[in-house]
Amino acid sequence: MMGFGRFRRRAVATAKTDVPGWRRPPIETGRSRLVAIGAGFLLLLTVMGGRLIELTLLRDGEEPRLTTRGLREPIERGDIVDRNGILLATNLKTSSLYANPRRILDAGEAARALAKVFPELDVAEVRARLAPDKSFVWVKRGLTPAEQQSVYRLGIPGLAFQSEYRRVYPHGRLAAHVLGFANVDNEGLAGVEKGLDGLLKPSVRDLTGPLTLSIDLRVQHVLTEELAAAVEAFSALGAAGLVTDIESGEVLAMVSLPDFDPNRPNAGVKDGLFNRATLGIYEMGSTFKTFTLAMALDSGAGSMASRYDATEPMKISRFVINDYHAKRRVLTMPEVYLYSSNIGAAKIALDVGTRRLQGYLRAFGQLDPIRLEIPEVGKPMSPTPTQWREINTVTVAFGHGVAVSPLQLAEGVAAVINGGVRMPSTLVKRPSDAPLAGRRVISADASRDMRYLMYLVVAKGTGSKAAVPGYNVGGKTGTAEKIGIGGYRAKALLSSFVGAFPINAPKYLVLVILDEPHGNAKSQGYATGGWTAAPAAGRVIARIGPLLGLSPGAPLVAEPDRPVLAASAAIGENRAPR
């Protein structure tokens, strides 16, 4: 009966709802509204929960952007590797802190809090930067994870993070002037980072892989270490050095000291960013005699049997040309090179003639800027054709009056001894199957004679301290006085040695230059190229020879038909290397 009563009351209630004007009781209306409100809250909580999951799990904890002004998609540059695939430059994903000052409640308090996280920031400067009339300002770029977490803990509204890529150089200073560096926006500013910026764009590197340089990091390390040791030993201002492949023109090592850390390019010494190897322009001294004798042998203006009177100083107009440790006798052409005679070189240049000398220097690449994959390339200095006088021809013969970069000198000397073909220098590894396109500058016979002369300089002449047992080194020393106010500075020297090994079939060229070295007890007080640069070059050759797969061989024996020095008794006498 009770169940029947409940059924009857429910039926009567249902029937009443069909009657016009009938209204639902308040309690039932309230129940319906509560259900609707509950459903709305459930939907809102679901949306908020989804958003929270997105922010905390899918966005790596990154805050939502407060504004899009000043932001852009992060740029990821292509990797750079050495010729053996060792990583030289890559990208590290990082975050940068920015702010919307209009949403910051107290700029002063925010500035003080940020300065505690970043002690290098100036509170007043940050306070001014957070002026409320702006909607976007960078606070700090390239944060570490710990710094980012510290900012999170501050809980300051109006701060947010932007994901970016930071350029990283794993080997620090090593090859700094080759690589250059990129700014906080990952744009190349120096070195190959700038010179080959287009090739490092993501769209290009995705198709071709990392950029492979010609640099061999092992050779780079050896050259850097030996140059640094020489700078310290002789209290020099700096140094420059190169190791190149004579056949291909590839640069295996390029060093300029002082250098810098590309990870922090502005934190080094004042001259650290200056690339002495390619941007520096110097008068190269007696190493230029290599070109003088090569052009004489090639043009027929002289031969290995030619003789030059160096008995007395040479007078040209009001100028007097002297020899360092003069022999004061007639010298053969090999002796002019062996004893580094300025007088002999000057007379050879006059026999060649000014116009032919200019033509050869241009062919050797000494009068025009060198082409390279980096922007730091110096413009050589020389007299204009209308300014060029006889005295210029004479002084250029022994490396004064024309200023070039060390890499220019290396490229030219390589052409002299590789068979006579000038190969353009490159910092990018050439494909193994790529044809080598060079330009012939002298004959193969003249090149062979110059190899013999360079061998004599190391075997018995001024470059003897560059000799390395079993590697048959040939080369030429150079010592030039630097130009100062009012003329040349007698005690401010640029001392150098340029050599190749094995000289009978040259494979690699080594150039060492020291800027204003000072003599020490080991050099008997001399600061010239034979005492300072030549020993450093010898140590480099001894260390890199095995790395490059060259085993020591038997000593070189002069060919029997090679002309013999006229004054053979003078060979091997005690002398101070120049």
Catalytic residues: 286
Cα 465 to Cα 541: distance, rounded to the nearest angstrom: 12
The count of C-alpha atoms lying within 13 angstroms of the C-alpha of 337, restricted to the half-sphere facing its C-beta, is 31
3-state class of 304 per DSSP?
Answer: coil
**Cα distances (Å, whole numbers) of residue 570 to 327, 329, 333:** 9, 11, 14
Closest CA to 258 of 283, 224, 284: 224
Query: What are the strands, taking DSSP E only, across 40-107?
Result: 80-81, 87-99
**How is residue 510 written in tokens?**
């080594």
**C-alpha dihedral sign at 17, 23, 27, 32:** positive
**How is residue 455 written in tokens?**
């061998």
In contact, 160 and 138? CB cutoff 8 Å: no
Give 453-458 contacts, CB < 8 A, sequence gap 24+: 453/293, 453/334, 453/337, 453/338, 454/290, 454/417, 454/499, 454/500, 454/503, 455/503, 455/504, 455/556, 455/558, 456/334, 456/337, 456/338, 456/565, 457/337, 457/338, 458/499, 458/503
In contact, 255 and 278? CB cutoff 8 Å: no
* Cα 397-401-402 angle, rounded to 5 deg: 85
Categorise residue 414: left if φ over 0, alpha if ψ from -120 to 50, beta otherwise: alpha
3-state class of 142 per DSSP?
Answer: strand
**How is residue 515 written in tokens?**
């800027």
